[in-house]
Amino acid sequence: MSLHHLVREPKVKLDKNPAIILLHGYGSNEEDLFSFATELPEEYYVISARAPYDMMYGAYAWYAINFDADENKFSDLDQARSSRDLIVDFIDECVSKYAIDAEQVTLIGFSQGAILSSAVALSYPEKVNRVVALSGYLNTEIATEDYLKNNITKVKFYVSHGTVDQVIPVDWARKTKPVLENLGIDVVYKEYPIGHGVSPQNFYDFKDWLLKN
């Protein structure tokens, strides 16, 4: 398979089970979000992927973030687009390797993983039916050039952010909902009084959203 990953098999086996694919943030690894796995609904495959770019021991990135002399951050968008397509290939591999319902694939991403989850869903909406974007923002430059031609209205989004996030400003996240709604997408947007992380309340809220949608 193209990406190293961890799998939690569904407790309830169907002919084809829905799947949740977890995409971690910059400088983290596949163990990070996988700690959620035991709390996620039992009928799902829960698959946590490791990003392709090795930073140092145990730390990986979906794309490089470079700083200039004035400490401005620049994302390597070519690497980001390459990771976008790697994730799409990985979804296909998971569907063929495991008994996954291709119509029921949810991406849950944190930070860089959230940015990519959104880009994958806009670019290849036939591959994803829901996105949970935690502490990220929408960067349409990472989407395919012709993404507006896609039928993206069927993808549902849950977007959340910490109001005191020191890594990705909450103002960036607040732009996500209106942009997605203008595309006809069903979006739930929530904020929590935390920094760059996922609070227990946020976890329960998105889990509840998964169960209802």
Beta-strand relationship, 59-61 and 53-56: antiparallel
- The token duo for 198 is 């996922």
Q: What's the CA gap between 75 and 40, in Å, rounded? A: 31
Residuewise pLDDT in 10s, the chain (213 residues): 889 999 999 998 899 999 999 999 999 999 999 998 989 989 999 999 999 999 988 899 999 887 666 666 778 899 999 999 999 999 999 999 999 999 999 999 999 999 999 999 999 999 999 999 999 999 999 999 999 999 999 999 999 999 999 999 999 999 999 999 999 999 999 999 999 999 999 999 999 999 998
Query: 93 has which bridge partners?
Result: none
Tokens describing residue 137: 């923002």
Length of the chain as a residue count: 213
44 and 19 in contact (C-beta within 8 Å)? yes
Class level of CATH domain 5-212 = alpha beta
Give the predicted TM-score (pTM) of the model: 0.94
